[in-house]
């Protein structure tokens, strides 16, 4: 964040020390002869440039931008442009031309005609010129690769949502990029660095096209200048722009134009109504009547727009529904082909033969188990002798059961009985009962 006095550089701890700042602001030494100092300076500025881009929500930066951001007491880094080239060698940054280059020439054309802006004015924005003349490449724009990739990923995630269209106008696409990832918390600062939010949106769009994540195309027209469109590539759609894509985009653009016209008409209606109320309050009836009449005329025009708007929306919905049905049918077709191919690899006859073989294998296994369970080595005794011995054991068991029986529950020994009679015990409980009865009879009424 910017410090209270507007000096961004002193938010970095190492730059608060004038001696250390002097070293880091000096000319970048030779990598071969002063490797240690070179490494220290490049490492510091690598972190500082990344942090500056994050703090200002920008992905582009030039040597002039570094000089302006890090000026302290009129002194600016003399090594700014050389530092960016060193970071380029490390793959930390790329030039805008490298980011937007693609075979069909769109990138080069877009960069020269739309994105690239004269940046020599940037030095004049300082209150006082910074010491250390910039070299000839000080206004060359570089792109911070990590921030570029992060913002691209956010844009693509946004268009993965089912409610978002995968084919849309180029202007709408740029507007979406600006809203999603290029909005700035401090426009007064960020608009003066890099190529600005609009330019960075262009860079992101062109890099997505150069990496084959989107397709940029033109929509031919017989009556107006060609309009540009974008197709977000995904697993659900092809890499080519089909006639269906073009026709749907034409419908959407027509819908957008009608909605914009209806919005302007509603704004004019609100203005006319406000004027009419104003003149009614000032008792200027004739003027108020004119604005009321104007409001009604505009309302008629606005209502005429609503019919086509609703119709085009319905057509687009039906087209999308039909396209979804097409995808479902295609999925069925591919599923059926895959199933048929799988069945061809396993014919029914082979399956029957396989099952017969399995049954025969089980039968053979049962015979093997039966053979394994058969007694080997011959019988040790004759079966008749075994039967006789078994009968003898049975007779002995029956004889033991038929022996003299003794009565059940007979005590084997009687309890000891005292030789002399036991003394009698008076039953005190019966006496108590008798006394109670006597008392009741005495007190009972006669």
Mapped to the 3 state alphabet, what secondary structure does the chain carry?
A: CCCCCCCCHHHCHHHHCHHHHHHHCCCCCCCCCCHHHHHHHHHHHHHHHHHHHHHCCCCEEEHHHHHHHCCECCECCCCHHHHHHHHHHCCCEEEHHHHHCCCCCHHHHHHHHHHCCCCHHHHHHCCCCCECCCCCCCCCEEEEHHHHHHHHHHHHHHHCCCCCCCEEEHHHHHHHHHHHHHCCCCHHHHCCCCCHHHHHHHHHHHHHHHCCCEEEEEECCCCCCCEEEEEECCCCCCCCCCHHHHHHHHHHHHHHHHHHHHHHHHHHHHHHHHHHHHHHHCCCHHHHHHHHHHHHHHHHHHHHHHHHHHHHHHHHHHHHHHHHHHHHHHHHHHHHHHHHHHHHHCCHHHHHHHHHHHHHHHHHHHHHHHHHHCCCCCCCCCHHHHHHHHHHHHHHHHHHHCCCCCCCCCCCCCCCCCCCCCCCCCCHHHHHHHHHHHHHHHHCCC
Mean pLDDT of 177-193: 62
Q: Please classify residue 412 by burial: count the beta carbons closer than 10 Å to its beta carbon, then call 0-12 exposed, 13-18 middle and 19+ buried.
A: exposed
More confident: 162 or 103: 162
pLDDT of residue 369: 85
pLDDT of residue 140: 87
Q: How confident is the model at residue 131 (pLDDT cuts 50, 70, 90)?
A: very low
Q: Which residues of 347-357 are buried (b: 16+ CB within 10 A; e: fewer)?
A: eeeeeeeeeee
Mean pLDDT of 399-415: 57
pLDDT of residue 247: 84
Instruction: Provide the phi-psi class of 403: left if phi over 0, else alpha when psi is between -120 and 50, else beta.
Output: beta
Cα separation of 135 and 124, whole Å? Answer: 16
Residue 86 pLDDT more than 90?
A: yes
Residue 190 pLDDT more than 50?
A: no
Enter the tokens of residue 234.
């995904």
pLDDT of residue 110: 47
Residue 69 pLDDT more than 50?
A: yes
Residue 32 pLDDT more than 80?
A: yes
Instruction: Provide the phi-psi class of 128: left if phi over 0, else alpha when psi is between -120 and 50, else beta.
Output: beta
Enter the tokens of residue 174.
């740029």
pLDDT of residue 114: 42
pLDDT of residue 42: 94
pLDDT of residue 375: 62
Mean pLDDT of 37-57: 92
pLDDT of residue 380: 52
Q: How confident is the model over 203-261, as pLDDT tens digits?
A: 899 999 888 888 888 887 766 777 888 888 876 555 677 787 888 888 888 888 899 99
Q: How confident is the model over 291-314, as pLDDT tens digits?
A: 899 999 999 999 999 999 999 999
CB 164 within 8 A of CB 225: no
Residue 50 pLDDT more than 50?
A: yes
As a whole number, the mean pLDDT across the chain is: 77
Cα separation of 440 and 420, whole Å? Answer: 41
Kindly report which listed range (75-79, 133-137, 271-275) carries the lowest average pLDDT score: 133-137
More confident: 9 or 192: 9
Q: How confident is the model over 374-387, as pLDDT tens digits?
A: 666 555 556 677 77
Q: How confident is the model at residue 403 (pLDDT cuts 50, 70, 90)?
A: low
pLDDT of residue 227: 82
pTM for the whole thing? 0.58
CB 9 within 8 A of CB 72: yes
Q: Please classify residue 96 by burial: count the beta carbons closer than 10 Å to its beta carbon, then call 0-12 exposed, 13-18 middle and 19+ buried.
A: buried
User: Residue 401 forms beta bridges with which residues?
Assistant: none
pLDDT of residue 349: 79
Q: How confident is the model at residue 126 (pLDDT cuts 50, 70, 90)?
A: very low
pLDDT of residue 149: 93
Residue 187 pLDDT more than 50?
A: no
pLDDT of residue 238: 56
Cα separation of 368 and 362, whole Å? Answer: 10
More confident: 34 or 348: 34
Using CA atoms in the order 278, 283, 284, 286, what is the torsion angle rounded to 10 degrees?
110
Mean pLDDT of 324-332: 87
Cα separation of 316 and 264, whole Å? Answer: 23
Kindly report which listed range (17-21, 107-111, 240-244) carries the lowest average pLDDT score: 107-111
First to last CA, the chain: 119
| Helix-helix angle 145-159:170-177, to 10 degrees | 120
> In terms of C-beta distances under 8 Å and separation of at least 24 residues, what long-range contacts does 319-323 make, across chains too?
319/244, 319/248, 319/251, 320/248, 323/244
């Amino acid at each position: 964040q910017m410090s209270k006095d507007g000096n961004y550089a002193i938010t970095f701890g190492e730059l608060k020390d004038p001696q250390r700042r002097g070293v880091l602001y000096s000319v970048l030494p030779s990598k071969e002869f002063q490797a240690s100092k070179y490494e220290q300076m490049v490492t510091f500025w690598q972190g500082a440039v990344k942090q500056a881009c994050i703090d200002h929500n920008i992905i582009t930066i030039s040597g002039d931008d570094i000089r302006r951001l890090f000026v302290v007491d009129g002194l600016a880094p003399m090594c700014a442009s050389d530092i960016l080239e060193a970071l380029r060698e490390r793959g930390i940054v790329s030039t805008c031309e490298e980011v937007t280059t693609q075979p069909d020439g769109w990138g080069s054309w877009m960069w020269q005609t739309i994105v690239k802006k004269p940046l020599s004015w940037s030095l004049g924005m300082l209150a006082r010129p910074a010491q250390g003349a910039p070299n000839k490449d000080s206004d060359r724009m570089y792109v911070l690769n990590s921030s570029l990739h992060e913002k691209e990923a956010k844009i693509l995630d946004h268009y993965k949502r089912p409610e978002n269209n995968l084919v849309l106008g180029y202007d709408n696409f740029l507007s979406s990029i600006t809203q999603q990832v290029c909005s700035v918390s401090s426009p007064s600062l960020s608009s003066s660095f890099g190529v600005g939010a609009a330019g960075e949106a262009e860079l992101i769009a062109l890099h997505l096209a150069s990496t084959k994540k989107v397709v940029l195309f033109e929509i031919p027209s017989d009556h107006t200048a060609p309009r540009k469109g974008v197709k977000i590539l995904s697993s659900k759609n092809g890499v080519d722009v089909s006639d269906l894509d073009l026709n749907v985009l034409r419908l959407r653009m027509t819908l957008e134009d009608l909605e914009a016209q209806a919005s302007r008409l509603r704004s004019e209606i609100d203005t006319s109504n406000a004027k009419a109320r104003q003149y009614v309050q000032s008792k200027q009836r004739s003027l108020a009547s004119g604005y009321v009449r104007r409001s009604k005329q505009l309302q008629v025009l606005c209502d005429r727009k609503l019919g086509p708007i609703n119709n085009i929306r319905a057509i687009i919905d039906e087209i999308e529904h039909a396209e979804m049905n097409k995808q479902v049918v295609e999925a069925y077709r591919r599923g059926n082909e895959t199933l048929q191919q799988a069945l061809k690899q396993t014919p029914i006859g082979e399956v029957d033969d396989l099952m017969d073989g399995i049954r025969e294998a089980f039968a053979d296994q049962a015979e093997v188990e039966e053979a394994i369970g058969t007694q080997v080595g011959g019988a040790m005794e004759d079966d008749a002798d075994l039967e006789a011995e078994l009968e003898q054991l049975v007779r002995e068991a029956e004889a033991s059961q038929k022996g003299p029986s003794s009565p059940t529950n007979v005590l084997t020994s009687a309890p000891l009985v005292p030789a002399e009679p036991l003394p009698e015990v008076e039953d005190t409980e019966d006496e108590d009962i008798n006394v109670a009865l006597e008392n009741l009879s005495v007190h009972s009424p006669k």
